[in-house]
Amino acid sequence: MGTLWAARLARAGLPVTLIVRNAARLHAFKTALGITLVEGEQTQRFDVNAQLPEAQEPIERLLLTCKAYDAEHAISLIAHRLAPGAEVILLQNGLGSQQAVAARVPQARCIFASSTEGAFRDGDWRVVFAGQGHTWLGEPDAGEAPQWLAELRLSHIGHEWSPTILSRLWRKLALNCAINPLTVLYDCQNGGLQAHRTEVDTLCDELAALLIRCGQAAAADGLGAEVHRVIQATANNYSSMHQDVAQGRRTEISYLLGYACEAARQQKFAVPHLHAVHQRLIEHLSQRGLPCN
């Protein structure tokens, strides 16, 4: 997602600097001579800057696009570089990492984002824009839209300022909790869950009740029906968590089911089915030697 945003901002003539993990990545970037965006039949290369986290330059606006489990560490490496009043846009799945990042950088304005855009890498520093989508941005305490949203418009990044971003993130989390873990446990495409309708419905009922208990009634509204719509619309796809497990990658379990179970514990609200699926998933991951957090 970082490369996808960087390429479109650069295409609009805006200055972009990538912050890469380490010297080896910086070297690889310099060899690639920029980033490449593949969109339909079109392939375009863009020249952008890149630097290491330990560079000195102050940061005014940062888009953090790493996985949820890397976000807190990533921000800790550059927190001292954030200028007073800097803005940090957090584009992570699930919930929990955004709050952890915000607590680490109280001097910054943290903007949470939720996106339905799809992209994948087909080479180093190359991104394929696979699915047109939309990105919602907002502050958890419903702040005003920043001026620079106009720059996103210039870059043709479909977006909207959302006064209810937490509700959007909770809704997406609930959808992912109802679908992703079961696709891993049954080793199936999303459509395979049509054979486990009762189990999906039970999880949706529990998730909707939890959302209401957490003060997120709007995110609970019609959850079950939407989950079934998504299962049908994406029947031939493997969920992102299924893909992670199949490729031996760490999952974002702690920011999805883990977050939901922890919220239930804090609310003293019983979620036996969610809890059972969480435990089954932990067992499944540990049997495959994958992290359970």
Which residues are part of the catalytic machinery? 172
What residues between 176 and 195 interact with ligand KPL by CB under 6 A?
Answer: 176, 179-180, 190
CB of 176 to ligand KPL, least distance (A): 4
CB 38, CB 129: distance < 8 Å:
yes
- Total residues contacting ligand KPL by CB under 6 A comes to 9
DSSP annotation of 66 reads S
Among residues 79 and 173, whose Cβ is nearest to ligand KPL? 173
Among residues 87 and 226, whose Cβ is nearest to ligand KPL? 226
- Applying CB under 6 A, the span of 25-33, 118-126, 232-240, 284-292 interacting with ligand KPL comes to 232-240
User: Which of these, 151, 107, 114, lies nearest to 1 by C-alpha position?
Assistant: 114
Verify binding: residue 240, ligand KPL, rule CB under 6 A.
Answer: yes
What is the pattern of x (binds ligand KPL, CB under 6 A) and - over residues 134-173? ----------------------------------------
Q: Binding residue for ligand KPL (CB under 6 A) from 230, 277, 281, 285?
A: 230
Measured CA to CA in angstroms, residue 101 lies from 70, 85, 172, 258 at distances of 10, 15, 20, 18
User: Which of these, 222, 229, 284, 228, lies nearest to 253 by C-alpha position?
Assistant: 284
Burial class from Cβ neighbours inside 10 Å (0-12, 13-18, 19+) for residue 196 reads: middle
The helix or strand, by DSSP H or E, that contains position 89, with its residue range, turns out to be strand 82-90
CB of 190 to ligand KPL, least distance (A): 6
CB of 156 to ligand KPL, least distance (A): 23
User: Which of these, 163, 114, 162, 160, lies nearest to 142 by C-alpha position?
Assistant: 163
Tokens of residue 150, six digits: 């106009």
Q: Binding residue for ligand KPL (CB under 6 A) from 62, 175, 203, 208?
A: 175
Among residues 98 and 240, whose Cβ is nearest to ligand KPL? 240
Measured CA to CA in angstroms, residue 128 lies from 49, 109, 110 at distances of 20, 30, 28
Residues that bind ligand KPL (CB under 6 A): 175-176, 179-180, 190, 230, 234, 239-240
